Copies of this chain bind each other. A is one copy, B any other.
Amino acid sequence: MRNSSNFLDAASSILGEKGLTDDPELLEPWLTDWRGRYTGRALALASPGSTEEVVALVRLAREHDVAIVPQGGNSGMCGGATPDTSGTALLLSLRRMNSIRAFDHADRRVTCDAGVVLQTLHEAVATEGLRFPLTLGGKGSATLGGLVSTNAGGTQVLRHGTMRALVLGVEAVTPQGDVFSDLDPLKKDNRGFDLKQLFIGSEGTLGIVTGVTLRLVPAIADRVVGWVGTDSLESARALLLRCRDRFSGALEGFEVLPAQCLDVLIDHIPDARRPLADAHPWNALIELVAEDIADVPALRSGLENLLAEAIEDRLGRDAVLAANEAQAAAFWDLRENISPAEKARGPAVQHDISVPEARMPAFIAKVGPVIEREFPGTRVVGFGHLGDGNIHLHVLAPEGADKAWVESDGARVSARVYQLVTQWGGSISAEHGIGQAKVGQLARLADPARLDLLRRVKAALDPDERFNPGKLVALAKGTHPH
């Protein structure tokens, strides 16, 4: 950056009063990620009001050699939207671009500005009898632009896929200040490879997503929720496959948690109650949904029969269906409170990883003891989305360890976990992305051919590393691919 005051003056004349501030008090909330792990500095906060303003700003930043860090709802898990500490980058928020641009009920799709908040979209499409089937904890702040840029996952991936499967079209501003626009999607279009895929999951390193067209699905009329105790994770997986064969499109959730998770929940969460009388080595939470209320009785009796057969076949030890919506919500509360309950036990490092789905039982059975042996006193707890192969692997610090453990031994534990998951053909980031948190681990562990391709594409689209520098993949000087 050469002359920041010239740049800010020019940016201000593009964006107007509402569109630019360098007031430290206004900037402050956006300089630290919501987990409180990373704090950066920024030249200013830009909030353009239109795609045209984003274009003008990017071209200006190019002229003045200013880097841009795009930020959505600031609810990311890997510091991907937090600037570095140099103070030379411009923080860019699209929260003023929050219009639903077009809604097509017949074709079940909606086109939105990138700054629309997920919950706002949920509410808007619900009034039309439709649903946007991606949801996650941060839905009250996460923006569509951030969700596209991080290829967000959440709790409905088993049936509907991640954001990539729901994005029909993207509008993005490139580092050259051009607009790539694909918002009126064609179902069949073979004019070369699918460029919009580059903007999904690239964490703002290749383009600034300014608009998106999303696929919608019919609203849910009701759900049927069951809880099953099993001997093993293998049995839970066999049960998952049966559910998938029997209910295909209606199966929307299949979560697993081990006995020790449930014990901790019962100990730490007020009013938490065991769904089943006895403790079982593993627990599965199953959700079926019906879009037509008339289908609910058949789903309910179908799941009852399937679970009765499973118990006969010794795949399940005991099972119960939620009698009503309150009980269904109570089952899901258990699942959603695992992280807070574990936190109450003491320091831990958490890993958002995935392995090929069929290998998840073996991975949890084998990797836990390896970590516990190599790091004496730790305890490993794995739970999560069995249907997606996505594991939340928590490693608890030895008793008596304090918070400092997380940064010292915890970091060594994490490096070892990432190495093991890579050896098992898995991913060091199932859904949270790379951001700045895992950029070093990705560079260390990624297959060289994959890393080379990531770098080539980054260098091709953003050779000056103007967009979100230091995130996802770095073009270290002198290491540009040839």
Contacts and interface: CB of A to CB of B under 8 A. Distances in A.
Contacts of A195: 450, 453-454, 457
Contact of A193 (B184, B201, B427, B447): B201
Contacts of A459: 460
A153 to B, nearest CB: 6
Nearest to A106: B241
A251 interface: no
Interface in A426-482: 426-434, 442, 446-450, 452-454, 456-457, 459-461, 472-473, 481
Contacts of A188: 153, 157, 162, 354, 385, 388-390, 427, 430-431
Interface stretch (A112-120, A174-182, A222-230): A174-182
Contacts of A178: 448-449, 452
Contact of A456 (B199, B357, B460): B460
A433 B106 CA distance: 29
A187 B358 contact: no
A273 to B, nearest CB: 31
Contacts of A434: 190-192
A194 to B, nearest CB: 6
Nearest to A196: B197
B454 A461 contact: no
Nearest to A481: B460
Contact of A107 (B176, B197, B357): B357
A369 interface: no
A356 to B, nearest CB: 5
Given A197-B197, A356-B186, A192 B472 contact: yes
A179 B354 contact: no
A189 interface: yes
A346 interface: no
A47 interface: no
A357 B107 CA distance: 9
A58 interface: no
Contact of A189 (B150, B187, B206, B354): B354
B180 A193 contact: no
B388 A187 contact: yes
11 contacts: A107-B357, A151-B194, A178-B449, A178-B452, A186-B389, A186-B430, A190-B429, A191-B442, A193-B457, A456-B460, A457-B457
Given A187-B357, A190-B434, 5 more contacts: A180-B450, A186-B354, A190-B431, A191-B450, A460-B481
> Nearest 6 CB-CB pairs, A to B?
A460-B460, A197-B197, A178-B449, A188-B430, A189-B427, A456-B460
